């Protein structure tokens, strides 16, 4: 098992150095913004790339991705996974709207580019309106800022920005999508990894959330039954519906070899109300999670995912992520010592 840093969108040199300094083996980047001022300025400074405006990226080229991978590897890290395509541009495909075909073509092009650049995993989700929280600045332990969700509130509010879609429509759209893109991933040597809906409720804002429990993922893995298709197992999201259900799903998909990588975080409470928590509290037992993964032979990557915002921290959360990453690495080292295995 490899501990990585994640949730980057702008890969600054300082952040990459920090990831290596706290012992990470590599990084995952989340919908990297290759149009961001920080990244463009870095390329302009270091490589005298042509400056000037450019249209918003809808697909990444192999050269874009190779440059990003090289920047990561210069710090002694690996680029293990990209989570999400540019600006999450598969919303029309999710909802079955005009323009879906174009978005699927861009998705295929990005998969091919990732294969050419040697980046092995592309994470994706099927949440057209994104992760929902009804509180973005609740108070956790010691006044740390955390996010929270109350379904009584969530079901009363609506953005009015999405057309209503029931479960049948969302499943049909996903099946069409995965049927189109999975052969491309298989040919490119790229694994597609599906993240659960967050929060895992049946419907929000008039749109069904179909990937919310073990049964839904079993259906998805059966429909797209390929080593190139698997699960981004987010302990926090699965545990939002209950820790026991999360552990049951973890055992099943780890045993089946369908987990490509793990988001390891905790939550306090469960639906209809939960709040994000530090990794050493809440309903998720990281020791139990990592022991299951070890016992089932999981050899993939783990990131801390969401973290509380502690005092005087940065936007990305350097302090809190250092704590969570060290906590995870310490458990893995202890579990390795139990069996006489290698440690990170």
Q: Where are the domains of the chain?
A: 2-339
80 pLDDT more than 90: yes
Residues 79, 11: Cα–Cα separation, whole Å: 11
pLDDT tens for each residue of 105-153: 999 999 999 999 999 999 999 999 889 999 999 999 999 999 999 999 9
Does 344 have pLDDT greater than 60? no
**Mean pLDDT confidence for 28-46:** 72
Length of the chain: 344
Q: Count of alpha carbons within 13 Å of 2, Cβ hemisphere only?
A: 20
Supply the pLDDT for residue 55. 54
pTM listed for this prediction:
0.93
- Residue 60's pLDDT is what? 87
User: Which pLDDT belongs to residue 106?
Assistant: 94
Distance CA 94, CA 194 (A): 13
- What is the model's pLDDT at position 214? 98
- Tokens 């926090």 — which residue? 236
Give the whole-angstrom CA distance, residue 6 versus residue 68. Answer: 15
State how beta strands 2-8 and 273-277 pair: unpaired
Q: Helix or strand or coil: residue 145? A: strand
Q: Are strands 229-234 and 191-194 parallel, antiparallel or unpaired?
A: parallel
**β-strand partners of 149:** 274
Q: Which residues touch 260 (CB under 8 Å, ≥6 apart)?
A: 81, 121, 191, 193, 230, 231, 232, 300
Q: What is the pLDDT of residue 253?
A: 98
Neighbours of 118 (CB within 10 A): 14
pLDDT band at 62 (very low <50, low <70, confident <90, very high): very high
| Confidence bin at 49 (pLDDT 50/70/90) | very low
Q: Which of 19, 10, 1, 14 is nearest to 321 (CA)?
A: 19
Q: In this model, does residue 32 exceed pLDDT 90? A: no
Give the residue-averaged pLDDT of 253-269.
Answer: 98
C-beta of residue 132 within 8 angstroms of C-beta of residue 153: no
Instruction: Evaluate the omega torsion of the peptide bond into residue 53 and state whether it is cis, within 30 degrees of 0.
Output: no
Q: Could you tell me which residue, 41 or 12, shows the higher pLDDT?
A: 12
**Region of poorest pLDDT, from 68-72, 156-160, 332-336:** 156-160
What share of the chain in percent tops pLDDT 90? 81
Give 175: exposed, middle or buried? Use CB within 10 Å, 0-12, 13-18, 19+.
Answer: middle
Q: Which long-range contacts (CB under 8 A, 24 or more apart) does 199-203 make?
A: 199/131, 199/132, 199/149, 199/151, 199/154, 199/237, 199/240, 199/271, 199/274, 200/237, 200/238, 200/240, 200/241, 200/271, 201/151, 201/154, 201/155, 201/271, 202/167
3-state secondary structure at position 50: coil
Q: What is the pLDDT of residues 170-196, one digit of tens each?
A: 999 999 999 999 999 999 999 999 999
Average pLDDT for residues 12-33, to the nearest whole number?
92
- Residue 228, sorted as left (phi over 0), alpha (psi -120 to 50) or beta, turns out to be alpha
User: Average model confidence (pLDDT) for the chain?
Assistant: 92
Average pLDDT over residues 27-35: 84
Residue 51's pLDDT is what? Answer: 46
**pLDDT above 80: residue 44:** no
pLDDT at residue 102, rounded to an integer: 96
Strand partners, 203: 208
> What class is the 2-339 domain?
alpha beta
Strands 273-277 and 266-270: antiparallel
Give yes or no for residue 41 having a pLDDT over 50: yes
Contact 320, 276 (CB under 8 A): no
pLDDT single digits (tens) 298-322: 999 999 999 999 999 999 999 999 9
∠ at Cα 7 (255, 122), nearest 5°?
A: 55
Mean pLDDT of 251-268: 98
Between 193 and 58, where is the model more confident?
A: 193
């Amino acid at each position: 098992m490899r501990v990585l840093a994640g949730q980057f969108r702008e890969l600054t040199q300082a952040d990459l150095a920090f990831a290596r300094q706290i012992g990470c083996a590599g990084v995952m980047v989340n919908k990297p913004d290759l149009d961001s001022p920080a990244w463009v300025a870095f390329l302009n400074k270091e490589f005298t790339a042509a400056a000037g405006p450019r249209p918003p990226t809808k697909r990444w080229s192999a050269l874009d991705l190779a440059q990003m991978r090289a920047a990561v590897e210069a710090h002694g890290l690996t680029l293990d996974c990209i989570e999400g395509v540019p600006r999450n541009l598969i919303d029309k495909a999710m909802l079955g709207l005009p323009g879906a075909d174009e978005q699927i073509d861009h998705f295929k092009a990005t998969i091919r580019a990732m294969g050419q650049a040697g980046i092995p995993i592309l994470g994706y989700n099927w949440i057209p309106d994104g992760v929902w929280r009804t509180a973005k600045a609740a108070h956790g332990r010691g006044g740390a800022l955390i996010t929270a969700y109350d379904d009584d509130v969530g079901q009363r509010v609506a953005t009015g920005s999405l057309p209503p879609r029931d479960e049948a429509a969302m499943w049909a759209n996903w099946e069409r999508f995965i049927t189109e893109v999975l052969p491309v991933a298989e040919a490119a040597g790229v694994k597609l990894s599906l993240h659960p809906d967050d929060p895992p409720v049946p419907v929000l804002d008039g749109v069904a959330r179909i990937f919310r429990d073990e049964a839904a993922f079993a259906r998805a893995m059966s429909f797209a039954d390929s080593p190139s298709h698997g699960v981004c197992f987010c302990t926090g999201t699965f545990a939002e519906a209950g820790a026991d259900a999360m552990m049951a799903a973890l055992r099943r998909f780890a045993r089946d070899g369908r987990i490509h990588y793990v988001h390891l975080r905790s939550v306090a409470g469960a639906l209809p109300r939960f709040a994000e928590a530090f990794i050493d509290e809440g309903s998720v037992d990281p020791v139990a999670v990592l022991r299951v993964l070890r016992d089932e032979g999981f050899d993939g990557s783990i990131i801390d995912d969401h973290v509380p915002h502690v005092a005087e921290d940065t936007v990305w959360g350097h302090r809190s992520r250092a704590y969570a990453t060290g906590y995870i690495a310490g458990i893995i080292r202890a579990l390795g010592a139990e069996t006489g295995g290698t440690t990170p």
